[in-house]
């Protein structure tokens, strides 16, 4: 597939000793990452920098989003030792900013919210100097579950809308656009000190006008941070790429986002919701997702 990429999408993949060490550490601690589960194109770069986005609640998702490579099916029981192992991994990797996401667990009464809280607490204990970012599912709109995570006071609360409303039925049929906006609204209403964040994929057939409308909706619920990146087909059974969005378009989205009032907009072909997430606290280092070297 790399041969089909336009010039601005081509990048060099580097394998380093730190990449291997990070992978081995995660294996030893029996941890899942979205980097591996979702086949993220940035995995080798991030693992080489000794960073990873931890995916709690196992490696099996109860939803069947057609853009996502994470395994779908019936998950097992919740691993009570997982939060402490995530914190141990964060300590060994020397992380200053820890990102926690999860599979969607519609089989659990709280959607897995308590596992997020337990993981935040373990990180606060093991790596007290680190900031914490959570990237949660919608918890089925369960306000009690959402508030449980908010009250654990992560520095950043991320929940992705993923695409424009017109494409929801095709892209993520078990989700609801308005429900996602309500989650982000609830976070800011409950604790304005928490930075709220959301993300979009482009290249699925959306128009520029539709993306701007979503950005406007996010600002209406006081979303602070936004990521926009190119959708890449992770496997044969997933949705096709309709368009490779040009660098000029990402520049346009960054400019318009700042005009709308987002504190930071990271937009580029390889931007993902947790890519270089630690740079959110330094606007000058906001990730652009542009390949460092073109081939």
pLDDT digits (tens, 9 = 90+) for 62-115: 997 877 878 889 899 999 999 999 999 999 999 999 999 999 999 999 999 999
Q: Say if residues 135 and 158 touch (Cβ distance below 8 Å).
A: yes
pLDDT at 264: 94
Pairing of strands 264-268, 225-230: parallel
**H-helix or E-strand containing 264?**
strand 264-268
Annotated binding-site residues for [4Fe-4S] cluster read: 35, 40, 46, 61, 65, 68, 274
Alpha carbon of 14 to those of 2, 23, 44, 47: distances in Å?
15, 14, 7, 10
pLDDT digits (tens, 9 = 90+) for 207-238: 999 999 999 999 999 999 999 999 998 888 78
Collapse the DSSP code of 43 into the 3-class scheme (helix H, G, I; strand E, B; otherwise coil) and give the result: helix
- Mean of all residue pLDDT scores within the chain: 90
pLDDT at 133: 97
Q: What is the DSSP letter of 3?
A: G
Q: Structural domains in the chain?
A: 17-275 (3.20.20.70)
Q: Which residue has the higher pLDDT, 161 or 13?
A: 161
Gyration radius (Cα) of the chain, Å: 18
286, pLDDT greater than 60? no
Q: pTM for the whole thing?
A: 0.91
pLDDT at 96: 94
């Amino acid at each position: 597939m790399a041969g089909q990429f336009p010039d601005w999408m081509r990048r060099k993949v580097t394998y380093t000793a730190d990449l291997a060490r990070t992978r081995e550490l995660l294996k030893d601690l029996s941890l899942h990452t979205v980097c591996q589960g979702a086949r993220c194109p940035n995995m080798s770069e991030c693992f080489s920098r000794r960073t990873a986005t931890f995916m709690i609640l196992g490696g099996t998702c109860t939803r069947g989003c057609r853009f996502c490579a994470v395994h779908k099916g019936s998950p097992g029981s919740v691993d009570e030792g997982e939060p402490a192992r995530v914190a141990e991994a964060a300590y060994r990797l020397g992380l200053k900013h820890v990102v926690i996401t999860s599979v969607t667990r519609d089989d659990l009464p709280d959607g897995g919210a308590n596992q997020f809280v337990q993981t935040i607490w373990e990180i606060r204990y093991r790596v007290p100097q680190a900031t914490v970012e959570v990237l949660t599912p919608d918890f089925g709109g369960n306000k009690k579950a959402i508030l449980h995570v908010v009250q654990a006071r992560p520095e950043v609360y991320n929940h992705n809308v993923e695409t424009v409303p017109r494409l929801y039925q095709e892209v993520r049929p078990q989700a609801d656009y308005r429900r996602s906006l309500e989650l982000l609204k609830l976070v800011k209403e409950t604790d304005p000190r928490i930075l709220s964040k959301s993300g979009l994929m482009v290249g699925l057939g959306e128009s520029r006008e539709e993306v701007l409308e979503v950005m406007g909706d996010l600002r209406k619920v006081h979303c602070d941070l936004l990521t926009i990146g190119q959708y890449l087909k992770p496997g044969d059974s997933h949705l096709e790429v309709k368009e490779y969005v040009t660098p000029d378009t990402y520049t346009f989205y960054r400019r318009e986002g700042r005009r709308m009032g987002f504190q930071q907009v990271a937009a580029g072909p390889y931007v993902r919701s947790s890519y270089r997430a630690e740079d959110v606290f330094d606007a000058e280092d906001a990730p652009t997702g542009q390949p460092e070297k073109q081939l």
